A and B are shown apart, each in its own frame.
Chain A
């Protein structure tokens, strides 16, 4: 099955208050050891992946471009040498505007990183400061110009909406500026307050206001309208692309295709198993340098987990869920309420539906314990379908689409 490779680079110039990704600042002295470890890990684990053909490589972070383009080139060369990577595979590198310049961008493209994902976040200086991003809005425009000049034909801009002080008007300006720059792909994420982050602590202490979910809903819908009218297709909850530019690598996650993971905290998935590397970079280095696979944990997905993921992930995208997966009647309230559409036998979320995905999956309350539910039928088929026994017990829709 066509697979992806994720490579994690944890280094950042500074740590942003909202971010709970596996990222560290001020550990630059570990860089060369880290690159060597990534090469070593590719050697160590590639033997497990001989069956898969890889259609995407994604170098993310952290900020991968804190590494020297030469190092990134060595890395990509090693990955291509160890894994069966298709010649036309999508190869993405993430970058922050202030870690790239005309020269480094040229070198990255020449090395084979043909897709560039820039962490723009916003074009409003106030918002960038609220997010503790160090670059000014101008840096994004400059980076895009330089990337285009270098020859990039596949650009993504990452945006975050809902920071403290951001208004609908400011968000609209950010969207319009983004469209002005003409990237092939736009990712727009609702700011989420993670409890373990500095921002999470501030919110708990009452020093910062959490995002207003209604405003974020308006921002989401505005993004949908604005980007659609500029020719972008909303193909996943947080992702928009011009035709032909949907991110192959990220689609792999939503479609539950296998992926390998290299680097501290990277996740891998194949079949019914998901596993992940240790998170702290030092620990990762020690294990790899000792010649051991740096695995930090794993899980086996039972049929329920697989079904829940399948439902959840499919509903994030325009693929939707085959109507036959859902008990007759369960989808009706959502179809009537305009949260789902029936497209040729597939239940596909509308813009409003995407905003209420958890609701679509779980329903407003857990449904009755029917014969298909997890407790009642351990080891049941992963995917329900026609011929499932009828549920018993009283119920009032909506229940959500989760039938097990």
Chain B
């Protein structure tokens, strides 16, 4: 077997590890926990501090936010991939194995969060002592509590001058249902209170159950792709024992494989002879396709030792947001395809299928978990693969119902014309918004204007309110978050979870240039907003489309009905005036320059549209909140 990067630390064992003579950990000395926190509330810094205090990472290897692997993650301050790290810590003379499972902290990844939580018995609920509870924290707290996890409420950043520990502790205690005195106070930055936190975790988080004798059931809560060793699953053993090398069966996927190595993150990958009940680690699955190793699936042994029932809660990852990605240079189509194929190796949630646009040429219709996921994929395609892309405006998936037949549409241009179907259903979400009370009016107004239906409103404290809304997902991906931020000066926070499909009066608005529909500009919107959308689109395009030899009509239409129109007047003058002292060279160079510019035009029907116009017209304007 070729040793890969995961084998770098083979054979490393740390002193004082809680193994008995046979190398088997006593489950009563295992604690599996995660940290639930809002972005920027200091989760990664706390994880760093935990690694330091438990000597899992030497100071030399310590780099800020150790667990966030990708550069992009560190730059954006978010965690995309969940990871698990084994810490050992002595409390009252006993050495404990503490498995810290890092959860993704973004609404796009709710399902991944829920699987990470399913690998734990406890959650540290971390709240910034200056900021207070945010929607994301609350949503994840509810997920954790519903999953039956023990909650350890903790205030972070108590060293900040703006910290209001007493107030936020009261808020937190009210949410968790504990005494404010029970809320731990730490500073992940200075390390104050972090040792006490470890003790509290040992004390409050129950030891995992599970028996060695039972058939193996291990939950896959994440996976990654190693170029040398294939797909690595991050697993939590619930029952039985996972030997380092064995033939395993992935129950939901229905496939078997010869697993090559089990190990733990300490925090570098370290092989172990086996993972016993309650333990968390990794398995080199021997599989090469990341799509076979699905988060939420259950690993068992092949043959006689197989479990009958998988662990509950598995769900197929499902794209929520779709967008067409097209190479800015038509010739880069092959490069884009190769880049997507490569990204897919490490991103099992990414969907794509070829798409041909009359206006933008060959590209792909891609499905993402959410807007953040979309941005990350786009940025990686541009940054890691050097591609220049045109992305169409994101849209959700629609269900078009004709009698008993349901067609799934995830490209606006495939939306059938009005009158040819019975109803359309669109995805809706349950949104949780936490806002300072001062901005409550603005938040409610925003939600109402986005076809929201209020379900619940309550005050966390006199200053802060929690609102629950049922909202169409299409409205959320329509720059909702930016609007929310700007209307609340950045103080409100948002989380949402899928809430099924509902009927809606949706229409496709087409944009026509000189009578020709431009498929890339088609959008499915609610009938009440069709005019506003059409108006904004034609006005923006009027600014972007250069004058042609003839008047160009820019129209927005629902079916054959025109709802908005602008005209780009014909160009009348395009000539170089004087040539000075026989300087023909300059004149020719100017013309050659102009010729180059024209190479970046795309012809739609008879109209020439610059590349930049597509990019600008399809961009959601974050400042004005007007889309296009």
A binding-site residues for B, Cβ under 8 Å: 6, 8, 21-22, 60, 189-190, 192, 213-214, 216-217, 220, 237-238, 253, 259, 261, 265-269, 274, 276, 299, 305, 308-309, 312-313, 337, 339, 352, 354-359, 361-366, 396, 398, 402
Contacts and interface: CB of A to CB of B under 8 A. Distances in A.
A21 B580 contact: yes
A356 B574 contact: yes
Contacts, number: 111
A189 B599 contact: no
Contacts of A308: 588, 591-592
Given A192-B577, A365-B598, A214 B585 contact: no
Given A253-B579, A362-B595, A356 B585 contact: no
B574 A190 contact: no
A366 B599 contact: yes
A75 B498 CA distance: 88
A267 B586 CA distance: 11
B603 interface: yes
Interface string B591-620: 110110011010100101000000000000
Contacts of A361: 591
A337 B571 CA distance: 13
A365 B592 CA distance: 12
Report whether over half of chain A's contact residues are helix, strand or loop; otherwise say mixed: mixed
B548 interface: yes
Given A6-B582, A309-B588, 8 more contacts: A237-B577, A269-B584, A308-B588, A308-B591, A356-B574, A357-B575, A358-B574, A363-B598
B588 A267 contact: no
B577 A366 contact: no
B598 A364 contact: yes
A356 B592 contact: no
A267 B595 contact: no
B561 interface: no
A220 B577 contact: no
B573 A266 contact: no
Contact residues on B (Cβ < 8 Å of other chain), bracket: 20 to 34
A170 B569 CA distance: 25
Tell me what chain B mostly uses at the interface: helix, strand, loop, or mixed: loop
Contacts of B585: 267, 274, 276, 299
16 contacts: A8-B581, A214-B573, A216-B573, A220-B573, A253-B584, A308-B591, A352-B572, A354-B575, A355-B572, A356-B549, A356-B571, A356-B572, A362-B591, A362-B598, A365-B601, A366-B598
A305 B595 CA distance: 13
Nearest to B580: A21
Contacts of B584: 253, 267, 269, 274, 309, 313
Contact of B549 (A217, A253, A299, A337): A337
Nearest to A211: B573
A107 to B, nearest CB: 25
A22 B599 CA distance: 33
B1 interface: no
A396 B572 contact: no
B587 interface: yes
Contacts of A359: 549, 571, 574
B604 to A, nearest CB: 11
B572 A269 contact: no
A189 B577 contact: yes
A216 B577 CA distance: 11
B15 interface: no
A165 to B, nearest CB: 19
A358 B581 CA distance: 21
A396 B572 CA distance: 21
A253 B143 CA distance: 80
A261 B549 contact: no
B594 A396 contact: no
B549 to A, nearest CB: 6
